[in-house]
Amino acid sequence: MSSFFDLYNYWIFIFLMMTGFYIVIAQGNLVKKIIGLNIFQTSVFLLYISMGKVSGGTAPILIEADVSYSNPLPHVLILTAIVVGVATTAVAMALIVRIQKAYGTIEEQEIHEQDASL
């Protein structure tokens, strides 16, 4: 089992993930929830990339010198994930604009009250 000094990076990233998760489930405003979701996503990317780092290595671009390279596979997967994240945010924002036009508000509590009173 590794010690604290080997793993504290992962624990800080988990704390950031939980902060984003808390914003998603605790705050009522829909735009704030999407910001929290984006913070969650970015922290997950940080966790993933930190698993691919090799100490003493360099960026995975081949150069003439004899060095070790960091693992390129997490970089590729996270590149895809970042762009998919922004696509999801764009669709979520469009939905929020339509909700505002239909209900007149984007607070979760007021939307539930309007739905319950129908």
Binders in 66-85 for other proteins, by CB under 8 A: 68-80, 82-85
Q: Does residue 90 bind other proteins (CB under 8 A)?
A: yes
Asked if 43 contacts 78 with a C-beta cutoff of 8 angstroms, the reply is: no
| Amino acid identity at 70 | S
At how many degrees (to 10) do helices 73-103 and 30-50 cross? 180
Question: Is residue 89 a contact residue for other proteins (CB under 8 A)?
Answer: yes
Q: How many CB atoms lie within 10 A of CB 65?
A: 6
Contact 69, 46 (CB under 8 A): no
What residues between 2 and 41 interact with other proteins by CB under 8 A?
Answer: 2, 6-7, 9-12, 14-23, 25-29, 31-32, 34-36, 38-39
- The footprint of other proteins on this chain (CB under 8 A) covers a number of residues equal to 84
Q: Could you tell me the CA-to-CA distances from 41 to 9, 28, 76, 78, 97 in Å, in that order?
A: 17, 19, 16, 10, 22
Residue closer to other proteins by CB (options 90, 114) is: 90
Q: Select from 66, 98, 115, 116 the one that contacts other proteins (CB under 8 A).
A: 98
Nearest-approach distance from CB 102 to other proteins, in angstroms: 10
Q: Is 109 in the site for other proteins (CB under 8 A)?
A: yes
Least distance to other proteins from the beta carbon of 118, Å? 19
Strand partners, 29: 107
